[in-house]
Structure 1
Amino acid sequence: MILIVGAGPAGSITAYLLGKEREVIIAEEHQSAGFPVQCAGLISKECVEAYKKYCNVKKAIENKIKGALFFSPSGKFFEAKGEAFVVERKLLDTMLLERASEFAEVFMKHKVRFRGAKAVLGDRELNAEYIIGADGVNSEVARSFGFERPPFFTAVQIETRFDAMDPNSVEIYLGKDYSEFFAYSIPIGETAKIGVIAKRSAFLYLKKLIEKHPSVSKRVRGGILELNSGMIPEKLVDFVKGNVALIGDSAGMVKPYSGGGLFYLLLAAEKLSENFPNLQAYKKAFLKEIGREIRLGEKIRNIYWLSNEEIEKVVDALKEFDFSGVQMDRPSSFLGKSLDILGLILRHPYLIRIFIKILRTSKFSQKL
């Protein structure tokens, strides 16, 4: 029997794939799927296509996005075009869990505890041959079996009435005045999801963004309609140990530059299913598929920690850059733009020093 702890997308897709041929139990401590909301719900066109295999993802789409506007601290911005979608996570998670229930036994509002290697579900002790931890950043599976835990960012998001620059463009706000990572707004009709990702004081950064940002502060039109917060893992950790494997946020499987995990966890679930029960082969296959993207993504993330002055220069220069062909889930797609990047540097020699800072190797990618 396989025990999967956590009924978010990672747990549900894994249960669906493994449950077709094996006995699977999936346990979730919350009373419903998609609760609490801890994701902005922005996914790429490629990600939407991949999820079509598991649910009617179109039913969960709230808005179609045509690109992103990246703002400097002073309010200047450049546009990067690219197709993406905003999905309603509660609905998406519910549809995926319904699909998983076709092949797995589901226990909602059941917290799994461990006595040594034994799992306890309610008053029932389970003899699980394999255990899959899909239970998020605060993974009980990871804690109980001694896995390294990743450091994390805190994300705080509100929904409010907002005059978007473009109703089909996401806005990204850079600069240390408004976040230690980045801040964003995602339009949904007359409202928007506005959020901040930071190591600490995320609420204070959000307050400053809404009240003092030279662009955002002029376009917020009302009070808070919904408030959500959550944690985002900062790095990928070792996610296999004996007969136990982690997947999704519990393993730190997120894009380093955005914190989004829906695409990576789906790939991980498929690799786990393809290689099961060889968990080491699962790990090897996932890293082969996405390891380079994580390493490159960590370098892109270094942009967020440039000085405000350096960010102003980067934003000015990128106004003339053609982002066509760049995929939001695959930083390696930038390698196809090498000549364009070289041309940009030749036109703006001051970028050389900045790019060297961006391309430095992080301590996390060295471990992959």
Structure 2
Amino acid sequence: MKVLVVGGGPAGSLSAANLSERAEVTLVEAKGASGFPAKCGGLISEDCFEALSRYCRASRALQNRIDGAFFFSPSGRYVELRGKSRAVVVERKALDPMLLQAASKSVDVRMKTRFAGADGGKVRLVEQGEERFERFDLIIGADGPESVVARTYGFERPEIFTGKQYLMEFEPIDERMVELYFGKKYSSGFFAYAIPVEKDVARVGVVSRENTSAHLERLLTSHPSVSERAGRSIYEVNSGPIPIGLVDFVRDGVALVGDSAGMVKPYTGGGMYYLLRAAELLGEHFPDMEGFRKSYLREMGREYSSGERIRRLYDSLDDEDYDFLIEVARDVDFSSLHMDSPSTALKLLPEVLKLVKRPSIAVKIARVMV
């Protein structure tokens, strides 16, 4: 069978690699390189990092190791959380090309080739201005949140948030701890963050439903903690869409993998582990696409549901609520948490609700989470 994979990012490269032993695979990438521009914070779990190391020398992209996170309320209070999983920071501008190079050893990779639609059962490809029509048995849309494949074949689209981040001079509290900043002052419906990359350098950013740039500037200039530690030097600026909400990702002769399908953790915006599992299950079940869909939902459906419940809390809680919850969190044992499994957070809900003595907040949490 002939398979076309559209997109040369991790979703496309990993899908192609996992299909290569069972099909004749062609991968097309519209740009001349993979990993540029980098629109990702680069934070992934150690488990995900080890899994990616089976495909390429991921250690070459390693920038930092992370032990946990500081959760900040809008007033600057914070609590330290350490779960059972550790994390790493990777440079996507290094990782993405390595994954694509690994895939190219077993599939036909065509750079600067754009998927431009379909006509009469054939796909229209444009390579350096030259148009051609080809027929494939299966199309994999791994072409990101603004997927042309998804639009061409009429797939539902996920909700789009916007992320903006600076690679900048920044003094972290601890170079091996991520910092997360909550509250409506710094994001609409999500949160802001600082991910240490190296000494006095971090990726500082905001994910928000709206006014992302304004939220980021407010974080840097007005947050009681961040404003004291953010330097003046900005080395890189990146922004882009972040899809939130898994959509139906399989229909006749077409499947979506990665951002094109909303395969992103709804409560953090990270998607590497979720797309990796999709690519591997795709390879395991090919050519049974319905089997792939059912298997992925059986393994990951609960995590999407749990993650979306947590994300809805960001809309429900007021800034004053966060100040209260930061104090409550000091008495909660978070050692069972895994960053790729939001369902582990839901298991702590009974303990949290027992500690929340303020009825108005308990009702908000219960209404969203139960």
The bucket for the TM-score relative to the shorter chain is: over 0.9
Cα offset for 1:312? 1.3
The 8 Å contact of residues 310 and 354 in structure 1, kept in 2 or not, is answered as no
Distance 1:284 1:231 in 2: 27
Equivalent position of 2:272 in the other structure: 262
Q: Deviation per CA, 1:231-288, whole angstroms, max 9, x where unpaired?
A: 1111111111100000000000000000101000000001111111111111111000
Contact 1:303/1:311 (8 A) holds in 2? no
Would the alpha carbon gap of residues 347 and 24 (structure 1) be closer, same or farther in structure 2, given more than 3 Å must change? closer
Q: What's the TM-score, normalizing by structure 1?
A: 0.94
Please state how far the C-alpha of 1:60 moved relative to its aligned partner.
0.9
Say if 1:302 and 1:357, in contact at 8 Å, map to a contact too. no
- Give 3-state SS (helix, strand or coil) of 1:357's partner: helix
1:91 corresponds to:
94
Q: Given the alignment of the two structures, is residue 126 of structure 1 paired with residue 130 of structure 2, yes or no? A: no
Q: Which amino acid letter does the alignment assign opposite residue 170 of structure 1?
A: V
- Provide the C-alpha distance between the structure 2 equivalents of 1:199 and 1:344, rounded to a whole number of angstroms: 27
Q: Deviations over 1:199-246 (max 9, x none)?
A: 121111101100001110010112311000111111111111100000
Aligned partners of 2:356, 2:135: CA distance in 1, in Å?
63
Indicate yes or no: 2:191 matched with 1:182.
yes
1:232 has 2:242 as partner? yes
Aligned residues: 357
1:273 aligns with 2:283: yes
Partner of 1:155: 163
Could you tell me which amino acid in structure 2 is paired with residue 187 of structure 1? P
Corresponding residue SS for 2:230: coil
Distance in 1 (CA, whole Å) between partners of 2:151 and 2:38 is 23
Name the CA shift for 1:10/1:343 in 2 (closer, same or farther; >3 Å): closer
The CA distance in 2 between the partners of 1:120 and 1:343, in whole Å, is 55
Q: How does 1:309-328 map to 2 (within 5 A)?
A: 309-328=320-339
Structure 2, unmatched stretches of 5+, are none
Partner SS state of residue 241, structure 2: strand
CA RMSD of aligned residues (A): 1.3
Q: Alignment partner for residue 107 of structure 1, among 102, 106, 110?
A: 110
- Name the counterpart of 2:210: 200
CA offset at residue 354 of structure 1? 3.4
2:144 maps to 1:141:
no
Aligned twin of 1:253:
263
> What amino acid is the match of 1:287?
L
| Distance across 2 between alignment mates of 1:46 and 1:61 | 14
Aligned mates of 2:307, 2:258 — CA distance in 1: 17
Q: Which moved more, 1:107-116 or 1:58-67?
A: 107-116
Indicate conservation of the 8 Å contact 1:13/1:266, yes or no. Answer: yes
**Given the alignment of the two structures, is residue 80 of structure 1 paired with residue 89 of structure 2, yes or no?**
no
What residue identity is the alignment partner of 1:312? D
Are residue 210 (structure 1) and residue 211 (structure 2) matched? no
Does structure 1 residue 292 correspond to structure 2 residue 296?
no
Runs of 4+ deviating beyond 6 Å? none
1:347 Cα offset (Å):
3.6
- Distance in 1 (CA, whole Å) between partners of 2:155 and 2:175 is 43
2:194/2:205 contact within 8 Å kept: yes
Q: Deviations over 1:57-78 (max 9, x none)?
A: 1221100001000000000011
The corresponding residue for 2:67 is 66
Q: Distance in 2 between matches of 1:18 and 1:270?
A: 9
Quote the residue 2:354 is aligned against: 346
How far apart are the structure 1 equivalents of 2:346 and 2:364? 18
Question: Are the counterparts in 1 of residues 150 and 256 from structure 2 also a CA contact under 8 Å?
Answer: yes
Distance apart, 1:336 and its partner CA: 5.1
1:335 Cα shift?
Answer: 5.2
Distance 1:22 1:207, change over 3 A: same
Query: In structure 1, what is the Cα distance between the partners aligned to 2:22 and 2:102?
Result: 15
Deviation at 1:333, TM superposition (A): 2.1
Output the CA distance in 2 between the equivalents of 1:223 and 1:11: 34
Higher mean alpha-carbon deviation, 168-177 vs 216-225, is at 216-225
The code of the aligned residue for 1:182 comes to F
Runs of 5+ in structure 1 lacking a partner? 361-368
8 Å contact kept, 1:153–1:234 = yes
What's the counterpart of residue 304 of structure 1? 314
Q: Does 1:165 align with 2:168?
A: no
Whether contact under 8 Å (1:256, 1:301) holds in the other structure is: yes
Q: CA offset at residue 344 of structure 1? A: 4.1
TM-score norm. by structure 2 comes to 0.94
Aligned equivalents of 1:344, 1:240: Cα separation in 2: 38
Counterpart CA distance in 2 for 1:15 and 1:346 is 48
TM-fit CA distance, 1:343: 4.2
Describe the SS at the equivalent of 1:304: helix
